[in-house]
Amino acid sequence: MTKIKIIEEGADLKRQLQKETRGRQKERLQALYLLKTGQVQNATELPYLLGRSDSTIKNGLKIYRHRGLNGLLELQHGGGKSLSLSNPVLTPLQERRRNPQGFSDYQAIQTWLTTTYGIDIPYKTLWGIVHNRLQAHPQVVRPQSQARNESMVAEFEKKSQAIKYFSYSPSL
């Protein structure tokens, strides 16, 4: 690794190192501090002291060389994978879901997305978006027997409540 010139003073780096609470930034400041104070002769010793690979140290010093201390301490975040459904599609979906005549099940949502927006989305992906992001749980109404007598159901519920009441015995 090539020699690098640290512009900041050792005392300033130490003060900033003591204030820093984020781990990755603290390590980066520590590397600069060790180089500036002469505790390390060159950058090749840093990976052993900091427990990082050569390439990690090399990349950090390269960032410092090009963008300075602020660039080194700036957190870089990867973008991650974008959502399968964008906000212009999610908003009408959410409004339609709130509507009483909304969707009966996930397949109805799939069909609506295909016909309205031309989006063909896998069932599992759609389930994750609707269930986790929109916090909706469309469910199909299960079939009931045609022979079901509502008066008998009410009588059964009344008797079961009475049985619960009389069967309860507090522990002594």
Q: DSSP state, 44? A: G
Q: What is the pLDDT of residue 169?
A: 57
* pTM, rounded to two decimals: 0.49
List CB contacts of 63: < 8 A, sequence separation 6 or more: 71, 72
**Residue ranges of the chain whose pLDDT lies below 50:** none
User: In this structure, are residues 73 and 31 in contact, taking their beta carbons and an 8 Å threshold?
Assistant: no
Q: What is the pLDDT of residue 133?
A: 87
Q: What is the pLDDT of residue 171?
A: 59
For the segment 104-114, what is each residue's pLDDT rounded down to a tens digit?
888 889 999 99
Q: What is the pLDDT of residue 3?
A: 74
User: In this structure, are residues 49 and 76 in contact, taking their beta carbons and an 8 Å threshold?
Assistant: no
Q: What is the pLDDT of residue 34?
A: 92
The full set of domain ranges for the chain reads 10-73, 87-133
Distance (Å, whole) CA 22 – CA 103 = 46
Q: What is the pLDDT of residue 154?
A: 86
